[in-house]
Structure 1
Amino acid sequence: MGNEGTARKERRGLFNRFLDFIEKYGNKLPDPVMLFVYITAIILICSFIFGKLGTTAVNPGTGEEIAVINLLSSEGFIKMMTNLVVNFTSFPPLGLVLVVMFGVGLAESTGLISAVMKVTILNAPKKIILPVIVLVAILGNAAADAAMVVLPPIVAMIFIALGRHPIAGLAAAYASVAGGFSANLILSVIDPLIAGFTEIGAQIYDPTYTANPAMNYYFLAVSAIILVPVAVLVTTKIVEPRLGVYEGEMETVEDLSSVEKKGLLWAALSVVAFVAIILYLSIPQDSLLRDPETGSLTKSPLMDSIVPFMMILFMLPALIYGKVVKEIKDSKDFADHLARAMSGMGMYIVIAFVAAQMIAYFSWSNLGPIVAIKGAETLEAFGMKGLPLFIGFIIVAALINFLVASSSAKWAILAPVFVPMFMILGYDPAVTQVAYRIGDSITNPITPMLAYFAIALTFAKKYDPRMGIGTFMTSLLPYSIAFSIMWLILFGIWFVLGFPLGPEGNILLNK
């Protein structure tokens, strides 16, 4: 018996033992609410210490000296008290999550999502279900952060209906959206935003430089395809075996009744009609949802309205389906379903309140940008060149993601440092930008600074109330590791062969 136990332990392999270690000690971390409280306390203490020491850094983009602000001063105390409510109500993920969940929750409450699964995914060949889910999740970053909220709970439901572990589905969806955040087959709202900061950084070296928002498109489009089999392999070979067999309540899958089929048909027609209206308001050059000045769709009212459109996209067919199947008979039923849909969001609201204060204090103290600038200066001091230089930069960007989650906020700090520095070394801003986007993406699934990590954990607790940060982290860490390896290999091949990264996006600077 002893020899058999030893053999089983050896067969688990080094990586699984590493995940066991992460799970064991990660589960010793406090509940997310208290974790944010403790981090907030650390931020306040650090602001006091480094504020008294006079710690500063110079923003290379503006030449402005940034100093640590002591928040434990009388002025800091007043600022924290007078802005406590504003921090919470203006916390971006709060409204986004709650608004989207009105639609998604109603679709779940009325049974629409269950009906859709029965006639689509559940009837599809099982071999293609997971690849399709992963691809949809990666492409979902076109909707910015909304996909991190919408897809994980839906995919968890799909997995449980298939007799698979729902947390594996939730982890696959969340990790694919977050870890593949920059990869896509279409341009998203983040492309022009990031390119704008790249242009500012490049103009420090070349005042005539203009950035093309699509300058990384070729590389990121290939990445979207390459990452699909990686995520599928991680899910089936690592995550699901570790989670084991789901012992919770499994949904029974029955054939649709004639009334459900009728409701599904009308719901589908409403989706087609809604999408047609959006296309009508978007495609013509002078249409309502295009930018009134440039006619662009990449930065336009359409992109700014993604969240309410997603809510309507779920709520409209859910309402129609509910009416047809008699789940919603009157306005009272409608209100009851909405209340039921939002009843499970209490924990998220508590987490959002604490996280909002933490992120605000981190910003006010200037600790985030100073740490980022100091890290950039350290990398610059090593004098690295070529591919090792960019791999080092990718690692720095990935690590900074544990301090500042916002992609645009990090790049606003890093672009004025790295873009002109690498241009001096003969590298096009496009390659610096794509390296940053890789680093920014690969640690997204595991950074607690990304508010959606807490949301995903809240969804996971629905299926396993004992789920701790460590256990959930071990379901996400393999994706970050695998995505990092694959993306670094792809970047290395692209860099060495000198392929264009996109329109007007090269490896070497054209002088």
Structure 2
Amino acid sequence: MSEAATQKGFLGMIERTGNKLPDPVFLFFWLIAGLVVISIVASLVGWSAVHPTEIDEATGAPRIISAVSLLSAENIQRLWVDMPTTFTHFHPLGYVLVVMLGAGVAERAGLFGTAMRGAVRYAPKALLTPFVVLVGMMGNLAADAAYVVLIPLAGIVFHAAGRHPVAGIAASFAGVSGGFSANLLPGQLDALLFGITEAAVETVFGDFTANIAGNWYFIAAMTFVFLPVIWYVTDKMIEPRLGTWDPARAGHAPVGEQTDAPLTDGERKGLRWAGLAMLAVVALWLFFTYGPGTPLIDEDATPEARWSPFYRSLVAAFFLLFLLAGWAYGKGAGVIANHRDLVQMMSGAMEDLAYYLVLAFAAAHFVAMFSWSNLGLILAVNGADVLGSSGLPAWALLAAIIIVSGILNLFVGSASAKWALLSPVLVPMLMLLGITPEMATAAYRVGDSATNIITPLMVYFPLILIFCQRWQKDFGLGSLAATMLPYSIGLMVVGLALTIGWVVLDLPLGPGAQVFMDMPVAETPVS
């Protein structure tokens, strides 16, 4: 497809507009520059708000929060003196680094790729589509491996079953990317997003510990709701539209064809060992939770807080789970010879995070400076007042957040970058309306997932196009976008319905996580 052709129509407009945006790292730096200007103006005009929780000790009245210029002497000093602390205390940083130390071993040893190969290769033919989709959604625990291993493999498996290979690629892409937040288990994405949520809460309400299992029930429900939608769209809409695959239209040899080979004895042995290692970690955490002394349960705390140590330990649990399972697989499959190989794999995982570290540096300073200026709190309080007086129910507010997130996703592909931009205002604002940080995060995830598969700005979109073109050489950018659009619409509709139903029924989002909370109010000073 020619460059000119890709620039036509609505998708062409999105592509042209998105390509003009700077890299997310520099986007944050430009936002910081704009934030400095806004803080100066807000300070000069005396923009302020009544703090929702704090009392002025001198007057006994709720404390007034005023906008502070980021060029004040105090904030300039903070910027330069606290720069290392601002970066290293950015909550998502620690969460992601710890989890990826383990996940990097599992990925490099081949555990994720082999597990996905085995699952898809031996799927029952009658249930091939839902099996591919489910493995794709579960494959998000493996991060990038799902894109580069599972999606091309799905095309090969569909072809072997006598079906159109592009339909397999589309179904797998919809599962991996459209179902980006759907999963039966929390994983790396939960650690990343809830780290940002934690930072957003603390800009207004002080110390807060995120529960990375706070969306567990919700994302599991997303899995069961999204799966039949993708199944229906694939079998009833996309595959009939594609018709019968014609080998004469194929490009060069399909990428990843060798990945359809049967599992070797070593790979099977590695999977068995990995399974035993995972069971051992689960057993260890059960022992820590229910064994002598119950170190992961605070017996002296209130019923709501007694599980806090367990939730806070989940980052370490996922680190150990991925690390030991990857190590066991590597030993069984003959990939890891000694401890030096293990250390090298962990080092490689950190190398892969080089770009994320740069992005985190910029995002950390944006979030911190937003807090220093008091603009986040002022926007949250005033926004909550406007929304509260509007009379809109909670489900309508969250539906609006889903739609806005989905639209923004067309232009800014990174899930963490968008949430770092939105959360400093959205999370405190919704808390002031009685909606928990966990619910705000869940709503964002629905919108972020649904439009991943239709924006050319998603980093893997060109790669998926190449996968398709190896089976159908005239398959262009417009063809891929048109193929994925029904999935995107379907996922957005059912995601909105799921969220609205969840809020109306007031169902728990995860262990210890609810939809609603008591609205923060200023406490009466002690006489």
Partner of 1:108: 107
How much does 1:45 deviate? 1.4
- Secondary structure at the counterpart of residue 49 of structure 2: strand
* 1:28 lines up with 2:17 in the alignment: no
Q: Match of 2:101, as an amino acid? A: F
**2: distance between equivalents of 1:339 and 1:433?**
34
Give the SS at the match of 1:66.
strand
Q: Distance in 1 between matches of 2:336 and 2:134?
A: 32
Structure 2 residue 309 is the aligned partner of structure 1 residue 310: no
- 2:46 is equivalent to residue 40 of structure 1: no
**Local SS of the residue matching 1:59:** strand
Counterpart check, 1:256 vs 2:263? yes
- Does the 8 Å CA contact 1:170/1:460 hold for their aligned counterparts? no
How far did residue 70 of structure 1 move? 0.5
CA RMSD of aligned residues (A): 5.3
For residue 355 of structure 1, what is the amino acid of its counterpart? A
Q: Is the 8 A contact 1:153 1:459 kept in 2?
A: no
Q: For residue 152 of structure 1, what is the aligned residue in structure 2? A: 143
Q: 1:61 and 1:480, CA in 2 relative to 1: closer, same or farther beyond 3 A?
A: farther
Match of 1:370 in 2: 378
- Assess if the C-alpha contact under 8 Å between 2:296 and 2:307 holds in 1: no
Separation (CA, whole Å) in 2 of partners of 1:506 and 1:87: 31
In structure 2, distance between residues paired with 1:285 and 1:130: 43
| Pair 44,230 (structure 1): closer, same or farther in 2 beyond 3 Å | farther
Q: Aligned equivalents of 2:305 and 2:98: distance in 1?
A: 23
Q: Cα distance, 1:351 vs. partner? A: 1.3
Aligned-partner Cα distance in 2 for 1:104–1:393:
32
> The residue matched to 1:290 in structure 2 has which SS?
coil
Work out the CA distance in 1 between the residues paired with 2:460 and 2:152: 13
- Provide the secondary structure at the position in 2 that maps to 1:287: coil
Q: 8 Å contact 1:328–1:334 — kept in the other structure?
A: yes
C-alpha distance in 1 between matches for 2:86 and 2:292: 39
Alignment equivalent of 1:127, drawn from 121, 126, 129 = 129
In the TM superposition, what whole-angstrom CA distance separates every residue of 1:29-78 from its partner, at most 9, and x where no partner exists? 11122111111111111111211221112234543322111011222211
Partner of 1:141: none
1:66 is aligned to 2:71: no
- Amino acid in the other structure paired with 2:363: A
Contact 2:171 2:231 in 1 (8 A): no
Query: Could you tell which deviates more after superposition, 224-233 or 258-267?
Result: 224-233
Whether contact under 8 Å (1:291, 1:297) holds in the other structure is yes
Match of 1:395 in 2: 400
Q: Deviations over 1:438-459 (max 9, x none)?
A: 64444445999xxxxxxx9677
In the alignment, which residue of structure 1 is the partner of 2:430?
414
Contact in 2 for aligned 1:394/1:435 (Cα 8 Å): no
1:395–1:439: 8 Å Cα contact kept in structure 2? no
In structure 2, relative to structure 1, the CA distance for the partners of 1:220 and 1:113 (3 Å cut) is closer
| Deviation (angstroms), 1:258 | 2.1
2:159 maps to which residue? none
Q: Does 1:267 align with 2:245?
A: no
1:357 is matched with 365
**Does the CA-based 8 Å contact 1:405-1:447 persist in structure 2?**
no
Query: What SS does the corresponding residue of 1:30 show, helix, strand or coil?
Result: coil
- Provide the rounded CA distance (Å) in 2 between the counterparts of 1:172 and 1:93: 25
Aligned-partner SS, 1:327:
coil
Residue of structure 2 equivalent to 1:209? none
Distance verdict in 2 for CA 1:132–1:109, change over 3 Å: same
Partners of 1:414 and 1:154 in 2: how far apart? 35
Aligned partner of residue 120 in structure 1, secondary structure: helix
| Residue 333 (structure 2) pairs with residue 325 (structure 1) | yes
CA deviation digits over 1:282-309, x for unaligned, max 9? 3469633223325779833221111121
Under a length normalisation based on structure 2, what TM-score does the superposition of the two structures give?
0.64
SS at match of 1:94: helix
Residues 299 and 306 in structure 2, CA contact (< 8 A), matched pair in contact too: no
Aligned residues of 1:47 and 1:367 also touching (Cα < 8 A): yes
Structure 1 segment 109-508 matched on structure 2, within 5 A:
109-125=108-124, 126-133=128-135, 136=138, 150-156=141-147, 157-163=149-155, 172-173=175-176, 176-178=179-181, 225-230=224-229, 249-250=255-256, 252-253=258-259, 254-283=261-290, 287-294=294-301, 299-382=307-390, 384=391, 390-392=395-397, 394-395=399-400, 410-416=426-432, 418-419=433-434, 439-445=443-449, 485-489=493-497, 501=507
Q: What are the Cα deviations for residues 169-204 of structure 1, in whole angstroms up to 9, with x where unaligned?
A: 6775465354899999xxx998xx99xx9xxx9xxx
Counterpart secondary structure, 2:79: helix
Using a 3 Å threshold, how does the CA distance of structure 1 residues 255 and 84 change in structure 2: closer, same or farther?
same
Query: In the aligned structure 2, how far is the partner of 1:277 from the partner of 1:120?
Result: 27
Aligned partner of residue 252 in structure 1, secondary structure: helix
Letter in 2 for 1:302: F
Q: Aligned in 2, Cα 1:413/1:229: closer, same or farther, shift over 3 Å?
A: same
Distance 1:31 1:91, change over 3 A: same
Write the letter of the residue equivalent to 1:275: V
C-alpha contact 1:397 1:436 (8 A) present in aligned 2:
no
Q: Which moved more, 1:343-352 or 1:80-89?
A: 343-352
CA contact (8 A) 2:380 2:428 kept: no
Distance 1:261 1:32, change over 3 A: same
The residue aligned with 1:453 is none
* Structure 1 residues 218 and 231: alpha-carbon distance in aligned structure 2, compared to 1, 3 A threshold: same
Residue 376 of structure 2 contacts residue 425 of structure 2 at CA under 8 Å; is this kept in 1? no
Residues 399/438 of structure 1: CA separation in 2 closer, same or farther (3 Å cut): same
